[in-house]
Amino acid sequence: MTVLRTAVDRESVEYTANRDALLAKIVELDVEQAHAVAGGGEKNVTRHHKRGKLLARERIELLLDPGSPFLEFSALAAWGSDFTVGASVITGIGVVNGVECMINASDPTIRGGASNPWTLKKVLRANEIALQNRLPVIGIVESGGADLPTQREIFVPGGRMFRDLTRLSAAGIPTIALVFGNSTAGGAYIPGMSDYVVMVKERAKVFLAGPPLVKMATGEESDDESLGGAEMHARQSGLADYFAADEQDAIRIGRQIVGRLNWRKQGPAPKPDPAPPLYDEQDLLGLIPSDLKVPFDPREVIARIVDGSEFDEFKPLYGSSLVTGWAQLHGYPIGILANARGVLFGQEAQKAAQFIQLANKSDTPLLFLQNTTGYMVGKEYEQSGIIKHGALMINAVSNSTVPHLTVTMGASYGAGNYGMCGRAYGPRFLFTWPNAKSSVMGPAQLAGVLSIVARQSAEGRGQPYDEEADVQMRAFVEAQIEEQSLAPAMSGMLYDDGIIDPRDTRTVLGIALSAIHNAPVKGASGYGVFRL
C-alpha cells in the first residue's frame, strides 16, 4: 500500500483565494437548496401544519433511523425553469430499520404535490437508481396528480412511473406506498402497483374518479370516503394492507414492513473499521483552483477521500495526464480514474481502456474524477489515431458492468465527458462540485469557432465581416454557454444526481458505494470490437 503525500500549502495566497471562491459557490448552493427546502412557502407550510400534517421532509426524517444519513438527489431539479426548485418531490437514499431504501416523498405544499415534467424526471431517475442498485422503494404519497397545464409533457412518459414499480417488484425489490393524502386518478396506481400499501385514516384518498366525475359519468352520488378512504380500502377493496391511525402510525408501520423484508445485500460487505484519510477534507476547498484553466493534481483529492490516503497507482509513468490506481473507500475496494492535466491523449485513452478491463476482471467498482477538456486535437493526434484511442476508452466505459461513480471536479468538456463516464454512460451515481462546468467545448472556444465559421462564410460570399457584431456575438454566445455549463444549470436539467460540497465527497461516495452493494458487483464478460 502506498500512502499519498501532500504538497498543499495552506499558507499560500492561492489556497486562500481558492477557498474563498469555492466557499462563495457553496453559499450559492445553500441558497438554492434553501428554495427546495422551503417547499410551497411559509403560508402553505403553516396551513399544512395546521391540518395536523407533517411536511414531506418531516415525514422522511421520522421514517429514517435516528442518526442515519440521508443522501438526497436532484435537490436543484427544475432550477432555471418556471417550476419550484426541487420539483415538488424529494428523493434520496436513507436507512429504514437498517435497510438502505430509496425514498420519494411528494411535497403537498407545492400545488398540492402535483407532478410537473421535472417531478417526473426526478422520480424516474430515483426509480432507476433503485432498480440498478436493488434498493427497496418507499413512496410517501400525497399528490394531486399531474400538473394539468403541462400534461402534454407528463401524460405519455408518466406511464413509466407505474411500469417501474411493477418491474421493481418483479426484480424482487420491494415497493411500499405510504399514502398520506390524495393519490387519485393515475396516482391511484402508485399504491395499486406497490407491494405493500399503508393508508392513513381519514386522510388517504385513493380512487380513479372523485365524486364530481362519478356523478358526471354514471349519475351516482358518492363521497370521498366511500370512493377511496383508508378504511374502505382496508376493509372492503383490500387495496390497503395496513390501516394507520395517523401519520406517525403510518411511518411506524412502514418501518415495521421494512424490518420484516428479511433484506440481504447481494454485494460483498465492506472491510470493517476503515481508516479515515490522513489529510483534512477542508483542504479540498483550497487546492481546487478557482480558474478551471489551472490544472491541479488529483492525487491531492484522492488523498482526502480514500481510506488511509492509500492509493496504489497503476501505470504512473504512462499516459500521465490520467491517473489510475486502486484504493479503498469506506471499506469498499475501488479503481480510480482521475484527469491530471485536462487533456486526454492516445496513451491516456489506452491506459484507461486497460484499467477499466482490469477492474471488470476483479469485480471492482470504478470512480471517475472528471476534470477534462477533452481528447487532444490537431494534425499529429488525428494522424496517430486519437479517434481510435478515444473509441477504445469509450468502448471500455460503455461495456464495463462494474458499478461506476462519477464526480465532476472541474471541467467536463467534449468527448472527455463521455470517456470519463458522463451522464449518458450510465454511472450509478454522478455528483458535481459547485465550481464544475460542462459543455461540448469551452465557452470561449465555442464562441471562437462560431466566429471563425461566420468569418469564413462572409469571406466565401465576398462580403465584409462585421467586426463589431462579431465582438458582440462572441460575448453573447460565450456568456450563454458559460451560464448553461454551470453546475446549477446542469443539475437543474438532472444531468447529475446533485451538487455536493467537495468536503462531503468521501461521505457521499461512501453512501453511494454502500447502496450499490445492495446489488451484486460483477465485471463485464464482453466488449464491443476494440479498434486497435
Site residues for another protein per CB under 8 A: 33, 36-37, 57-58, 61-62, 65-72, 75, 95, 98-100, 245, 248-249, 251-252, 255, 265, 274, 330-331, 498, 500-501, 503-504, 507-508, 510-511, 514
Give min distance, CB of 380 to another protein, in A: 44
Give min distance, CB of 36 to another protein, in A: 7
For residues 123 and 186, what is the distance between their CA atoms, to the nearest angstrom? 15
Give min distance, CB of 330 to another protein, in A: 6
What is the DSSP track for 104-117?
EEE-TTTGGG-B-H
User: 213 — phi, psi (to 5°)?
Assistant: -70, -40
Q: How distant, in Å, are the alpha carbons of 45, 180, 345 from that of 377?
A: 54, 56, 9
- Between 160 and 201, name the residue whose CB sits nearer to another protein: 201
* CA torsion through residues 459, 461, 465, 469, sign: negative
Give min distance, CB of 446 to another protein, in A: 32
Give min distance, CB of 95 to another protein, in A: 6
Q: How distant, in Å, are the alpha carbons of 63, 69, 123, 128 from that of 95?
A: 9, 7, 19, 18
Q: How many CA atoms lie within 13 A of 44 on its CB side?
A: 15
Give min distance, CB of 438 to another protein, in A: 20
Neighbours of 393 (CB within 10 A): 29
Give min distance, CB of 102 to another protein, in A: 14
What is the DSSP track for 334-399?
EEEEEESSSEE-HHHHHHHHHHHHHHHHTT--EEEEEEE-EE--SHHHHHTTHHHHHHHHHHHHHH
- Between 285 and 338, name the residue whose CB sits nearer to another protein: 285
- Between 307 and 478, name the residue whose CB sits nearer to another protein: 307
> Are the beta carbons of 324 and 315 closer than 8 angstroms?
yes
Query: How far does the chain reach from its first CA to its final CA, in angstroms?
Result: 33
Give min distance, CB of 507 to another protein, in A: 6
Give min distance, CB of 168 to another protein, in A: 20
Residue whose cell numbers read 421535472: 118
Give min distance, CB of 250 to another protein, in A: 10
- Between 85 and 359, name the residue whose CB sits nearer to another protein: 85
- Between 245 and 449, name the residue whose CB sits nearer to another protein: 245
- Between 153 and 231, name the residue whose CB sits nearer to another protein: 231
Give min distance, CB of 506 to another protein, in A: 9
Residues 6+ apart with CB under 8 A from 420: 337, 339, 368, 370, 372, 397, 406, 412
Residue whose cell numbers read 460483477: 522
Composition of the chain by helix, strand, coil, percent to 5: 45, 20, 35
- Between 65 and 470, name the residue whose CB sits nearer to another protein: 65
- Between 481 and 500, name the residue whose CB sits nearer to another protein: 500
How is residue 319 written as a grid cell?
499516459
- Between 151 and 507, name the residue whose CB sits nearer to another protein: 507
Q: Which contiguous run of DSSP H or E holds residue 206?
A: none
- Between 245 and 294, name the residue whose CB sits nearer to another protein: 245
Nearest Cα to Cα of residue 284 among 118, 96, 503, 74: 503
Strands annotated E in 3-97: 70-73, 89-96
Residue 332: beta bridge partners? 329
- Between 28 and 249, name the residue whose CB sits nearer to another protein: 249
